[in-house]
Amino acid sequence: MKFLIVGLGNIGAKYESTRHNIGFKALDFVAEQSSAFFIEEKYGEISSFKYKGKNIFLLKPNTFMNLSGSAVRYWITKLKIDVEHLLVVTDDLNLEVGNLRMKKNGSDGGHNGLKDIQQILSSSQYPRLRIGVGNNFPKGGQIDYVLGEWTEEEHLILDQKMEIIKEMVLSFCFAGIENTMNKFNNK
């Protein structure tokens, strides 16, 4: 059985430490802990490893956040992966910094990366792991906030959550989304 885990973010050193790139940061951690490495391929950097008999592919699209749908469609088609075995890891302004929530599906919530994936797949029926980045910004300051760098305090919170994020990704692939949601959501 195969799974595609997509971390959303923007390519380039300019965006590396920004809140919007938490999907990339999470996948980097999962890959490192799984002794996997990324290679540059069409539409992004891809990595793979096996876990309890499951083939897990990690994708960091190089299409920039707002055009992530093309990369997702290309790789689920190329790898012949069902949409229910797709997990999109993304930042979420509606969750406090470090809060984690897995969902079976849902709206894009104003997130342009999710909006593009939903449009390209013609569906919002795909799992996602939402990582809270908070919403500590003035009215109209959303773009500057998500493209801003983490504070030292936020770094500490997120570093402590990386192991849980890895466990959630592996649980999604091995135990399924329902069990993963029951075990990890709201904890």
Q: Which two tokens stand for residue 70?
A: 């093309």
Options 20, 85, 111, 155, the catalytic residue: 20
Residue type, 167: E
Name beta bridge partners: 124.
Answer: none
Q: Which two tokens stand for residue 12?
A: 């380039």
Decide: 68 and 60 in contact? Cβ < 8 Å: no
Name beta bridge partners: 54.
Answer: 51
20 labelled catalytic: yes
Q: HSE-up of 17 (CA within 13 Å, CB side)? A: 7
Helices in 79-184 by DSSP H: which ranges?
112-121, 142-146, 152-174, 177-184
Decide: 104 and 146 in contact? Cβ < 8 Å: no
Which residues make Cβ contacts (< 8 Å) with residue 73, sequence separation at least 6?
Answer: 120, 121
Q: Which residues are catalytic?
A: 20
